[in-house]
Structure 1
Amino acid sequence: MLPNNKKFGLIGKDISYSFSKKYFTEKFAQDLYEDCSYENFDILNIEDFPSVLKNNPNLKGLNVTIPYKESIIPYLDTVSDKAFQIGAVNVIRFTKKGNLKGYNSDWFGFKKSLEPLLQVHHKKALILGTGGAAKAVAFALDQLGITYSFVSREANPNTIDYSLINATTFDNHQIIINCTPVGTSPNTKEFPPIPYNYFSKQHIAFDLIYNPEETQFLKKAKKQGAVTKNGYEMLVFQAEKAWKIWNK
């Protein structure tokens, strides 16, 4: 068991819905980590991060969520090789020397969650979004040998515009992954602007969102026969990976 009064928490914005607080609070209760607690640190700007550290001297580990997975990096002393390659951090470990080291467990959680669904014909993916979560997903796809294209509302050299997605795009990309927050509760009627009628039973639709359990994105894809999965299992895998990192 960890030494007394270990505090863990989540850095993010508008995070009252957070998976992490409930998950770790229940984990600590079930596994009798009586002196561990988990708190949400809802900050308006990344500039407020140092004050969280100052006001919570017994912090031993943090998770990081939207919109700070990239902007938190300059506040850290070091980052792991994988987090550096990804360009996003979702786990922070407080080292014995008191330094802050950033890691990424999102890629690990996504890879473990997607792998059981993969078949021989799943060779290429469309990643909706270009933020920190999308970068972790891209890293995981690289590990799996799956090529991918990013989709964004803003024109970038390595991205496809939503308006250009058509039947051919769907023929060429058998995995469609929503890495945007579009469709998250309470905005459950929203969905990414793609032509859902081109989904088929040859496709996987994966949504990183877990609340609601079935987003409009997943419902529309399932209606066309696609295999669907939400982000809950990915979050469990990444949370357990974070716990291992904190206890190194």
Structure 2
Amino acid sequence: MKEYGLIGFPLSHSFSQKYFTEKFLTENIQDSRYELFELTNIQQFPDLIRSRQLCGLNVTIPYKQAIIPFLDELEPVAASIGAINVIKFEKGKLKGFNSDYQGFLQSLQNFYPNYAQAQALVLGNGGAAKAVMAALNHLKVTYKLVSRNPTTEQLSYEQLTADVLQAFPLIINTTPLGTYPKVDTCPPILYEALSINHYLYDLVYNPAETIFLKRGKEAGAKTKNGYEMLCLQAEVAWQIWNS
């Protein structure tokens, strides 16, 4: 039996286990199973891999960066992002990948058609933003980061005037604002300045329509949540483990 799983803490609402368990059933993959491994401390990781015959792991919060010193090798894009969410076990070695980047890249291509003239705002500057930026760089999309603590390289939310928003038709929320259970929050932008020319992408998928997306839709913008990205990154992980 091939064993795959997810490490993180807490794991009470795991998308990955449900996704892979259903995948194994629908695709009649009888030799594989997917388990949850809650680690209260990343130092428990070596004991885990010694005690199980694992073929691959996903990594979630809070260990996407903390896992790196335990790995033998990083895929180049994952190394540049500085966050790992897939581990491949191969010939006694552990190699880290970032399938969030590839999942977002594919999902954005399905959603947004105008790469040549694209200008994007990336709301947030955490680990999720790094994966998004790697995808935008790959697609040669010009972007600006937006955060509560602006620097010479980043805009503040206060700087997002109606004119600025008009110049950036693609707006991507990488912050957790609006995620269940705090569904009444949203990034503080001028939603009334949005139009039918805007595309709003929210990495949040629970709830399916955040206030960010709802207010964008009310202004005429096209919207998309992060569920497709989540499914696509899971498929990328499966391809990595089986390549």
TM-score (norm 1): 0.90
CA offsets, 1:123-177, max 9 Å, x none? 1111112222211111111111111111222344422222322212212211111
Change (3 A) 1:177 1:99: same
| 8 Å contact from structure 1 (residues 209, 230) kept in 2 | yes
Number of aligned residue pairs: 242
Change (3 A) 1:70 1:157: farther
Partner of 2:128, secondary structure, is helix
| RMSD of Structure 2 on Structure 1 (CA) | 1.8
What are the residue-to-residue correspondences of 1:27-46 with 2, within 5 Å?
Answer: 27-46=23-42
CA offsets, 1:104-137, max 9 Å, x none? 1111111111113324485111111222221111
Q: Indicate the residue corresponding to 2:20 in structure 1.
A: 24
* 5+ residue gaps, structure 2: none
What is the percent sequence identity of the aligned residues?
A: 51
| 8 Å contact from structure 1 (residues 16, 40) kept in 2 | no
Tell me how far apart the structure 2 counterparts of residues 213 and 182 of structure 1 sit (CA, whole Å): 13
Change (3 A) 1:216 1:44: farther
Partner of 2:240, secondary structure, is helix
What are the residue-to-residue correspondences of 1:210-225 with 2, within 5 Å?
Answer: 210-225=205-220
Partner of 2:106, secondary structure, is helix
Which amino acid is the alignment partner of residue 10 of structure 1?
Answer: L
Change (3 A) 1:168 1:44: farther
| 8 Å contact from structure 1 (residues 122, 174) kept in 2 | no
What are the residue-to-residue correspondences of 1:146-185 with 2, within 5 Å?
Answer: 146-185=141-180
Tell me how far apart the structure 2 counterparts of residues 240 and 39 of structure 1 sit (CA, whole Å): 17
Partner of 1:243, secondary structure, is helix
Partner of 1:115, secondary structure, is helix
Tell me how far apart the structure 2 counterparts of residues 44 and 154 of structure 1 sit (CA, whole Å): 30
Tell me how far apart the structure 2 counterparts of residues 102 and 81 of structure 1 sit (CA, whole Å): 9
Given the alignment of the two structures, is residue 83 of structure 1 paired with residue 78 of structure 2, yes or no?
A: yes
Tell me how far apart the structure 1 counterparts of residues 63 and 149 of structure 2 sit (CA, whole Å): 20
Q: Indicate the residue corresponding to 1:62 in structure 2.
A: 57
- Which of 99, 105, 109 is 2:103 aligned to? 109
Partner of 2:185, secondary structure, is coil
Partner of 1:228, secondary structure, is strand
* 5+ residue gaps, structure 1: none
Change (3 A) 1:158 1:10: farther
Tell me how far apart the structure 1 counterparts of residues 149 and 137 of structure 2 sit (CA, whole Å): 23
Change (3 A) 1:203 1:235: same
